[in-house]
Structure 1
Amino acid sequence: MTKKSVKAPAKSAKPATKAAPAAKAAPKAEASKVAKSQLVEMVADKTGLTKKQSDEAVSAALEVILEAIKGGQSVGLPGLGTLSVKATAARTGVKPGTSEKIQIPAGKKVAFKVATTLKATL
């Protein structure tokens, strides 16, 4: 029993050290992400609208963008880029672990092309 309890912390210590850099990387990624609530606050600050009005405006804009994409239309966002729907062809894939060949059906995906002005400033 004692050896098992000694081995268990050693095993968990190794993943903990491996997870520690990932844990440090995750907050940095989260810190650079702008949530909807933060976006609403930024819009309110820039426009002088109340937070409630800004929330309604942001929500309405997102709904319109989603409806257009679901309808198969492209959405151009000046200075940001273009969202569009692309068709994917049916293809043969390999199941990980078993190396079994499987058929992946055709489908659709959302593609984003960054605006050249934004790409130049990054």
Structure 2
Amino acid sequence: MNKADLVTAMAEKAELSKKDTEKVLKAFEEVVMEELRNGGKIQLVGFGTFEVTDRKPRVGRNPKTNEPIDIPGGKAPKFKAGKALKDIVNV
């Protein structure tokens, strides 16, 4: 499912226009990105949690030359599925 398919499905479920649904989806994306950029997390009970994790620097290997390379640390977005979502997927 791509973004257009998602907007269509959401519009049908919520009985909204596609244009309004697209605005809602865009607003959701922007709020999530802004909150994660500020180091916060968003918890949607039953669905899941969006948060930022810290990655430690590590040493990897170049697969062609087998030489070690330094991989810098940083931050990465993370989504952890909630119980209800896990239960639906594992039926």
TM-score by length of 1: 0.66
Amino acid at match of 2:86: K
Within 2, Cα distance between the matches of 1:77 and 1:94?
38
Question: Please, which runs of 5 or more residues in structure 1 have no aligned partner?
Answer: 1-33
Structure number with the higher helix fraction is: 1
Q: Alpha-carbon deviation of 1:120?
A: 2.2
The structure with higher relative contact order (CA 8 Å, sep 6+) is: 2
Structure number with the higher strand fraction is: 2
Identity in percent:
36
Map 1:16-27; keep pairs closer than 5 Å. none
Within 1, Cα distance between the matches of 2:48 and 2:6?
18
The 3-state SS of whatever aligns with 2:75 is strand
Within 2, Cα distance between the matches of 1:108 and 1:74?
13
Question: Please, which runs of 5 or more residues in structure 2 have no aligned partner?
Answer: none
TM-score by length of 2: 0.85
- Which position in structure 1 is the counterpart of 2:59? 92
> Deviations 1:63-112 (Å, cap 9, x if unpaired)?
11111112221122333211111001111111111111111111111122
Number of residue pairs matched? 89
- Please tell me whether Structure 1 or Structure 2 has the larger radius of gyration of its CA atoms: 1
The 3-state SS of whatever aligns with 2:43 is strand
The 3-state SS of whatever aligns with 2:69 is strand
